[in-house]
């Protein structure tokens, strides 16, 4: 598994966070980005908008990039595949927005 360097930025107000992860990939690699929330309830809305190398990224099967009106602990996920013939550096950006929930962190893995 390769390591990614991630940075997170949050504005001074509002429930928003931008997370960028720089990583190197070679061959075919599976990627998974998860963001966790606590305290969701009947008026909670969560979403993440992914981009890879400055272009919109469509998450693959099994992904969940938004949630509305769910209770409890919620995890959003984006699954995608990177295909590179040689080592190449990529930049993943996730824009995360939520209301009426508590952000509880993220994880990004490459396999």
pLDDT in tens, the chain (111 residues): 467 899 999 876 668 999 999 999 888 999 999 999 998 888 889 999 999 999 999 999 999 999 998 888 999 999 999 988 788 899 999 999 999 899 999 999 998
In whole angstroms, what is the distance from residue 23 CA to residue 110 CA? 9
pTM (predicted TM-score): 0.90
């Amino acid at each position: 598994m390769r390591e990614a360097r991630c940075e997170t930025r949050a504005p001074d107000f509002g429930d928003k966070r931008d997370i960028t992860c720089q990583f190197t990939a070679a061959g075919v690699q599976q990627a998974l980005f998860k963001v966790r929330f606590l305290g969701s309830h009947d008026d909670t809305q969560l979403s993440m908008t992914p981009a890879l190398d400055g272009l919109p990224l469509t998450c693959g099967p099994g992904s969940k990039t938004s949630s509305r009106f769910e209770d409890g602990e919620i995890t959003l996920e984006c699954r995608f595949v990177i295909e590179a013939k040689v080592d190449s550096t990529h930049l993943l950006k996730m824009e995360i927005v939520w209301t009426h929930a508590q952000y509880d962190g993220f994880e990004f893995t490459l396999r």
